[in-house]
Structure formats: structure tokens, C-alpha cells
Amino acid sequence: MREILTLLKSGNKPSLLAAIVNAFLGIIKGIAFFFTGNVAMFAEMMHSLGDAANQFFVFIGSALAKKSPTAQFPNGFGRLINLVCLGAVLIVGILSYETVKEGWHHFLSPATESNGMFIALGVLAIGGVMELIVLHKAAKEVLHEVGAEDGGFASIPKSVKYLKRAKPATKLVWMEDLVATSGNVLAFSAILIAYFTGFYRLEGLVSMIIGFMMFYVVGRVFLDNARGVIGETDQEMLNHIAHLVMAEPNVKDIVRLEVIKEGEFLHVELEAEADPKLSLAYLDDVRDYLTHLILSQKGVTEVVILFDEDDGQVSWQHIDEKPTS
């Protein structure tokens, strides 16, 4: 029990914050939908509840993924976060379908009036502000994870550039809250326009748009984490580590180098060639140095290094960029 509590303390904080915020918003949006019957509010309620559920599971998964390797699972639990994210998007997928379906029904048979407009608008305004706060927090976490400077109020647009390198849990929270913030704005606009123009089909149309945006998140997150479950190479870090290794005077060539993503972590396997005249004791010191050097790189948690004698031919041709600072 103590180990689980310790792991939970290291879980992804933005996902926990997002889960709490979205659970609260889902409840108040559900109450607003009960009193107003507004289909755009229904879409936002489903969206918030779906986000709350999967972000909570992602928080749990991100914590358990940090569990140390065991004899039964020697490679650790890093990819558990990818599996949890895959399960989480299934929930969003189901709710996306229900949102689109309800929006389509409302588009075909729109209401003749909009009830409780001010209740709906008030709830959506609160939701928009809170979602924006969570999105800003997730954006700052993205910048922190990649080692970029805090962008302050500009953190959200600045984080777009680094999103691909963010941890799976943080990336999911960022994408979901971007869609959630946009959904609040769309729903707010739809209710306001429908009230003043009488074009109540717009509420159904916006509900479908919100549902399709949710489907987009499902697709992106599914593809990203499916690659993570299979085992994806971190090409940028591979090039970086290759430069570090080839800078070691005792390394003549790289036979094989793999940098595999294990959830939030990186697993490195290196087979290098060295001068056959070097003693095993000396090569062991070189291995220790390279192991320490590679482990000091961001995200690397496991390194395996093998040496073979130099065959006089250079076979490593994969370096295409300078090491990052």
C-alpha cells in the first residue's frame, strides 16, 4: 500500500488536475442540461465527463509506469502508460459517438426555443475559464519536460512546437483541453446565435462538431500510443547519443544503436567496436564512462553496452544532426 501511495505522488500532475476540473465541470454541465435541455450543453457534459474519466486513468497509469522492474517484468512498466492511454481513448470514442448522434438528432428535429440561456452561458463561461487554466498548466508542463523556457502567458502557443516530444500523459491532457476549451467557445456561440436568430439547428451542428473534434483526439492519441506499445525509436535522441558515443576516442565504430521509448522513459542498447589491443579492464572503464554519460541524458533510464573488436570498416552512417544541448 505504501508503495502505491509513493507511486501516486509521482503521477502526472496535469492529468490529475484536469480530471478534477473536468469532473466538476461535467457535474455542473449535467445540471445545466437537466434544466435547459440544450443539446450543445449535453455535448459539453459528455465531453467533460469523458475527459475526467480518462484523465484520471491516465494519472493512475503514469504513476504505475514508474514502478521499478521486477524479476517477472525485467524491462519495467514504462509502456503501461501507453496501454492506459489506449484504454482511455476508447471511453472518449464512445462518448464522441453519443455526442455526434445526439447532435444529429437535434439537427434533424431542432427545438423551437432555447430554455435557460443564461444558465447555459454562465456554465460554459465558467467551463471555458477553467479549461483554459488547465490547458495553460499542461502547456507549461510540456515546456518543462522538453527543457524549454517557461513562456508565461505565451506558454500555450509556444508549447505547440514541442508537443511531439512531451510525455504521453501530458500530450493527452494538452490535446483534450485544447478541444475542451474550443468546445466551450463553440457551444457558447451556438446558444447565443440560436437565441437571437432562431436557428436552433446550429446547436445540433455544434454538438456534432464537438463530437468530431473528440474523435480527432481519439485518433491522434491512439496512433501515438499504439507506436509506444509496439516500441518506437526516439530518432532525435538516437542521433544525439550516437554523437556522444562517436566522440569517445576509444570507440572506432557503432555496429548497432537502439533508443526505444518505454512510455515516458528511454531504453538504450549499444554495440560498438573498439581497438582489439585494449584490455578488458580498460574497456570496462570505457563502458562505465559511456553508461554514466548516456544515463545522464534526459529520459534515459536503462543502458546496455557491448563491445566487439574493430574490423577496420566504418558502418555507422545514421548521424544526421548535432547533439542537442
pLDDT tens for each residue of 209-260: 988 988 888 888 788 778 777 777 888 888 889 999 988 899 999 998 998 8
Q: Label residues 78-103 b or e (16+ Cβ within 10 Å = b).
A: bbbbbbbbbebbebbbebbeebbebb
Mean pLDDT of 248-275: 87
List, for residues 151-198, the tens digit of each pLDDT value.
787 889 899 888 887 877 788 788 888 888 888 898 889 888 988 888
pLDDT at 114 over 90: no
**Rounded-to-integer distance, Cα 201 and Cα 161, Å:** 37
Q: Could you tell me which residues are beta bridge partners of residue 304?
A: 269
pLDDT at 112 over 70: no
Q: Average pLDDT, whole number, for the chain?
A: 83
For the whole model, what pTM was predicted?
0.69
Residue 324 has what pLDDT? 45
pLDDT at 280 over 60: yes
Domain boundaries, given as residue ranges, for the chain: 2-230, 235-309
Nearest to 47 by CA among 94, 115, 12: 94
DSSP 233: B
**Rounded-to-integer distance, Cα 76 and Cα 78, Å:** 6
The helix or strand, by DSSP H or E, that contains position 58, with its residue range, turns out to be helix 39-64
Mean pLDDT of 91-101: 84
Mean pLDDT of 260-281: 86
3.40.1280.10, 3.40.30.10, 3.20.20.70, 1.20.1510.10: which CATH number matches 2-230?
1.20.1510.10
Q: Which cell numbers hold the place of 197?
A: 436568430
Q: Label residues 207-221 b or e (16+ Cβ within 10 Å = b).
A: bbbbbebbbebbeeb
Domain 235-309 top-level CATH class:
alpha beta
